[in-house]
Amino acid sequence: MKFTHYQQLDRMDCGPTCLRMIARHYGKHYTAQTLREKAQISREGVSMLGIAEAAETLGFKSVGVRTTLDKLIKEAPLPCVLHWGQNHFVVLYAISQRQSAFRYNEVSRRFLSKIWGGRKPTVTFDPDDDRMGVPNEFELLSPNLSPKTGNRYEDTGHRTFHIADPSRGLITYTSTEFEKRWLSFKNNGSKEGLALLLEPTSRFYDEDDEKANGFRFGQLLRYLWGYKKLIGQLGLGMLAGSGLALLMPILMQSVVDVGIGSQNLSFIYLVLIAQMILLCSTAAVDFLRSWILLHISTRLNLTILSEFLSKLMRLPVSFFDVKQFGDIMQRIGDHRRIESFLTGQTLSVLFSLINLAVFGFVLAYYHLSIFIVATVASILYAAWVILFLKQRRKLDAKRFDVSARNQSQIVQLIQGMQDIKLCGAETPKRWEWERTQANLFKWSVRNLSLSQFQQAGALLLNQSKNIFITFLAARAVLEGQLTLGGMMSVQYILGQFNAPIEQLISFLQSWQDAQMSLERLNEVHGMVDEEPAHQQKRTEWDKHQDISLSNITYTYPGAGNDPVLKNINLTIPQGKTTAIVGTSGSGKTTLLKLLLRFYDPQMGTISLKSGTGGMLFNQRSLDNIIMGSAGNKDLDFKYISHRSWRQQCGVVMQEGFIFSDTIARNIAVADEVIDQARLYHAAQVANIHEFIESLPLGYYTKIGAEGNGISQGQKQRILIARSVYKNPQLLLFDEATNALDANNEAVIMRNMEEFFLGKTVIIVAHRLSTVKHADQIVVLEKGEIVEVGTHGELVLTKGKYFELVSNQLELAV
């Protein structure tokens, strides 16, 4: 049985893809995304533990082992997952061995049944009976056969290891190559490697799998359907073009046969004029065709790209946590391919088919055997090209992988230039980049040599066909079956015949490219939105309610990760200021991110407390739908629209982003028309108005990546101004003032006092001056709340807060 190989869709996808292949091998289909989620993929990929956990949820029994090669060969049930080259996962699905004797197994049984015409052998074969010899037969140890039943490995060293590499395809390795890649540990002098052994349990077969997420051509046609009128016009143009092309050989023949034959120069003039008119008409039709195609393709490109971008924007933040920048950029490149397939290929292939039929018909009319030769040669030509498609697919996937890495690296090099210089790491970083370039070059060369080989073969086939047909035509002229003009027409038709075939073939290649691109895009389009359209969520609620966190536990995706927040129970009173303090890494930012609904806690609920505010009248009916009550319960966060919730939050995060735009646009990010009074007020509260006014272009000075540089403190003040401009009910500040001098901070805190009135404020800070006036201070330690109280209360308790304050928060101030 052939082992099904799946290509990994992203650079970090090898683990889930291995599992996908193994599940497929046992007859179940799962999408890459499902397995990624189950394996808790993070930006660094998955661990073996992650794959094991995902496998267990699918119904496999899994054991991770560190073992020697000998033990792997003797005892491992295949297929199994191997840790490869220290940074990759592959599937070992079979081990084959050069045999000196014939053994009865799946392969031999099929071999025998072929010999006996499918009849069952009447002789019983003993697996250990070596008498019936088929020398040098490669025995493939079927993965379904237990290694203990009849397969012997120990006698020779000529083993071949069959590996399904998610990034490269099905590959075979010799023992030496295999050992080099797999064995990575030393234990008591013997070398060991890591393997994950998997065996399906009955639960695996009981679980429902997912439908194959294959190529959906209809999905592509849906894009074209919007342009049906233009495509109709295009079709008419194509028909007209084919009709005109049909006239050309007839005219050519009449020049020779009638014009030259009867020595009638005026007739030749006439025909040449007709040919000129024909040429002009064909050029005009071609021009119109290209124009319509261009028109459709630009619009189509915009449609599919904007659909992708809006899908990206609907995805949860956690998606961007695990996706590499390069992978996303590459997917944008994928759209170009789909667009070029749809416009450049699908439509012109229609044209080619019409032309092929027309010219085929005319050729058959002129000379049947020439037509048959041309057809057979064309089929051979097409078969030759198709032969290379699989190899092309592999190369393409590899190139995607390397160019995604290249993209990420370039962005990192540019963004991290300062630190590269500070660390004096210019040379190693350049070498790293050059290695990727060399790799990219290697794959491009392989791709090029493959297409050169393919083209050379195609050219040979084509030219041989032309020579043979010239011979046939010449003979037909000599034998009087064809006129000289007829021969010239045949030559002309042959020239025209090739173009549609080439187009058909490039359609196949482009179909293949589009198929792969679509698979990668489908994957993004198939992900669940942060707010699925079918789920009714509240967009309005009473803004004056306490926020309650009960039993919140959160763990970042990634197998083996410990919870970052454990059993958090907390009430954040509305209209008051809550400060969160704690040592670095204690989970403060994560708590804010949960409140901002970037992630959903695995356990516990965050809700708005009922009774702490009035219910809006127009929301009552929706409450009844959602909560099945008169709205008298706490409002769980999961019933609130993510987007609407964030609209109510003013946030300054540690890694807040400054867009490459004017200062005004950076403060009023979401407003199309900026409210000047609010803008000035926000800048004044953030104590940055004077600085902005001192700039020659004031609020219209460009900052960010493509504009003026600003200091860290100025950046923080602009971010604060952004949240003040928004004027929300809930404010969340994560180390919002840590880059500011004490003077500036004091001014801002004073300005903020008035702004904070009646608003719920959550401040994460290390500085005492920022937190000491808070109504409630929460102390986090290793993801748990250890103390809650006011500054005075907590100092008196002399607990963790006191310790923090004495060590970090400048108690002396």
Contact segment (CB under 6 A) with ligand ATP among 13-21, 147-155, 249-257, 588-596 equals 588-596
- For position 556 contacting ligand ATP by CB under 6 A, the verdict is yes
- Residue (354 or 565) nearer to ligand ATP, CB: 565
- Residue (12 or 458) nearer to ligand ATP, CB: 12
- Residue (244 or 603) nearer to ligand ATP, CB: 603
Among 12, 521, 564, 785, binds ligand ATP (CB under 6 A): 564
- Residue (47 or 496) nearer to ligand ATP, CB: 47
Contact segment (CB under 6 A) with ligand ATP among 183-191, 527-535, 586-594, 620-628 equals 586-594
The minimum distance between CB 780 and ligand ATP, in angstroms, equals: 7
- For position 808 contacting ligand ATP by CB under 6 A, the verdict is no
- Residue (249 or 563) nearer to ligand ATP, CB: 563
- Residue (147 or 582) nearer to ligand ATP, CB: 582
Distance, CA of 568 to CA of 583 (rounded, Å): 17
- Residue (254 or 590) nearer to ligand ATP, CB: 590
Q: Which residues contact 38 (CB under 8 A, 6 or more apart)?
A: 16, 53, 54, 57, 58
Distance, CA of 759 to CA of 737 (rounded, Å): 19
- Residue (543 or 766) nearer to ligand ATP, CB: 766
Q: What's the order of all strands across the beta sheet hosting 776-781?
A: 649-652, 730-734, 760-764, 577-582, 776-781, 784-789
The minimum distance between CB 765 and ligand ATP, in angstroms, equals: 9
- For position 784 contacting ligand ATP by CB under 6 A, the verdict is no
- Residue (317 or 474) nearer to ligand ATP, CB: 317
- For position 589 contacting ligand ATP by CB under 6 A, the verdict is yes
The minimum distance between CB 738 and ligand ATP, in angstroms, equals: 10
Please give the C-alpha separations between residue 370 and each of 356, 467, 474, in angstroms, as whole numbers: 15, 12, 11
Number of Cα atoms under 13 Å in the Cβ half of residue 290: 5
Among 143, 147, 582, 650, binds ligand ATP (CB under 6 A): 582
* Residue 255: both structure tokens together: 């020049």
| β-bridge pairing 603-608 and 635-636 | antiparallel
- Residue (11 or 28) nearer to ligand ATP, CB: 11
Contact segment (CB under 6 A) with ligand ATP among 102-110, 247-255, 394-402, 581-589 equals 581-589
- For position 790 contacting ligand ATP by CB under 6 A, the verdict is no
Cβ burial of 72 (10 Å; 0-12, 13-18, 19+) is buried
Alpha helices in 733-799 (DSSP H): 742-756, 768-771, 791-797
Contact segment (CB under 6 A) with ligand ATP among 196-204, 256-264, 578-586, 796-804 equals 578-586
- Residue (27 or 585) nearer to ligand ATP, CB: 585
Instruction: Tell me if 381 sits within 8 A of 458, measured CB to CB.
Output: yes
- Residue (73 or 559) nearer to ligand ATP, CB: 559
> Would you put residue 748 in left (φ > 0), alpha (ψ -120 to 50) or beta?
alpha
Distance, CA of 783 to CA of 794 (rounded, Å): 19
The minimum distance between CB 322 and ligand ATP, in angstroms, equals: 9
The minimum distance between CB 582 and ligand ATP, in angstroms, equals: 6
- For position 587 contacting ligand ATP by CB under 6 A, the verdict is yes
Cβ burial of 181 (10 Å; 0-12, 13-18, 19+) is buried
- Residue (163 or 780) nearer to ligand ATP, CB: 780
* Identity of residue 546: D
Among 11, 392, 588, 681, binds ligand ATP (CB under 6 A): 588
Which residues inside 352-411 make contact with ligand ATP, applying CB under 6 A? Answer: none
Distance, CA of 397 to CA of 3 (rounded, Å): 19
Contact segment (CB under 6 A) with ligand ATP among 252-260, 350-358, 410-418, 577-585 equals 577-585
Interface pattern 516-555 for ligand ATP (x via CB under 6 A): ----------------------------------------
Query: Which of 515, 519, 509 has the alpha carbon at shortest distance from 345?
Result: 509
The minimum distance between CB 547 and ligand ATP, in angstroms, equals: 18
The minimum distance between CB 764 and ligand ATP, in angstroms, equals: 7
| β-bridge pairing 88-98 and 159-165 | antiparallel
Q: 10 Å Cβ neighbour count for 361? A: 11
Among 408, 496, 590, 687, binds ligand ATP (CB under 6 A): 590
SS (H, E, C) 216-236: CHHHHHHHHHCCHHHHHHHHH
How big is the chain, counted in residues? Answer: 813
Cβ burial of 531 (10 Å; 0-12, 13-18, 19+) is middle
- Residue (193 or 587) nearer to ligand ATP, CB: 587
Contact segment (CB under 6 A) with ligand ATP among 96-104, 194-202, 587-595, 795-803 equals 587-595
- Residue (88 or 767) nearer to ligand ATP, CB: 767
The long-range contacts involving 219-227, CB below 8 angstroms and separated by at least 24 positions, are: 219/518, 219/522, 220/338, 220/341, 220/342, 220/346, 220/514, 220/518, 223/300, 223/303, 223/304, 223/342, 224/296, 224/300, 224/342, 224/346, 226/303, 227/296, 227/299, 227/300
> Would you put residue 662 in left (φ > 0), alpha (ψ -120 to 50) or beta?
beta
Contact segment (CB under 6 A) with ligand ATP among 194-202, 361-369, 463-471, 584-592 equals 584-592
Interface pattern 634-653 for ligand ATP (x via CB under 6 A): --------------------
* Identity of residue 594: L
- Residue (436 or 590) nearer to ligand ATP, CB: 590
Angle between helix 426-478 and helix 389-415 axes, rounded to 10 deg: 150
Instruction: Tell me if 686 sits within 8 A of 724, measured CB to CB.
Output: yes
Among 67, 406, 586, 607, binds ligand ATP (CB under 6 A): 586
* Residue 551: both structure tokens together: 């039993």
Distance, CA of 268 to CA of 167 (rounded, Å): 63
- For position 601 contacting ligand ATP by CB under 6 A, the verdict is no
Contact segment (CB under 6 A) with ligand ATP among 141-149, 582-590, 699-707, 717-725 equals 582-590
The minimum distance between CB 43 and ligand ATP, in angstroms, equals: 8
| β-bridge pairing 776-781 and 577-582 | parallel
* Identity of residue 690: E
Cβ burial of 771 (10 Å; 0-12, 13-18, 19+) is buried
Interface pattern 306-345 for ligand ATP (x via CB under 6 A): ---------------x------------------------
* Identity of residue 715: K
- Residue (394 or 767) nearer to ligand ATP, CB: 767
Q: How many residues bind ligand ATP (CB under 6 A)?
A: 11
Among 226, 560, 585, 698, binds ligand ATP (CB under 6 A): 585
Q: Which residues contact 418 (CB under 8 A, 6 or more apart)?
A: none
The minimum distance between CB 323 and ligand ATP, in angstroms, equals: 12
Among 136, 262, 266, 584, binds ligand ATP (CB under 6 A): 584
The minimum distance between CB 593 and ligand ATP, in angstroms, equals: 7
- Residue (678 or 782) nearer to ligand ATP, CB: 782
Distance, CA of 459 to CA of 11 (rounded, Å): 37
The minimum distance between CB 584 and ligand ATP, in angstroms, equals: 3
Instruction: Tell me if 272 sits within 8 A of 206, measured CB to CB.
Output: no
Residue ranges binding ligand ATP (CB under 6 A): 321, 556, 564, 582, 584-590
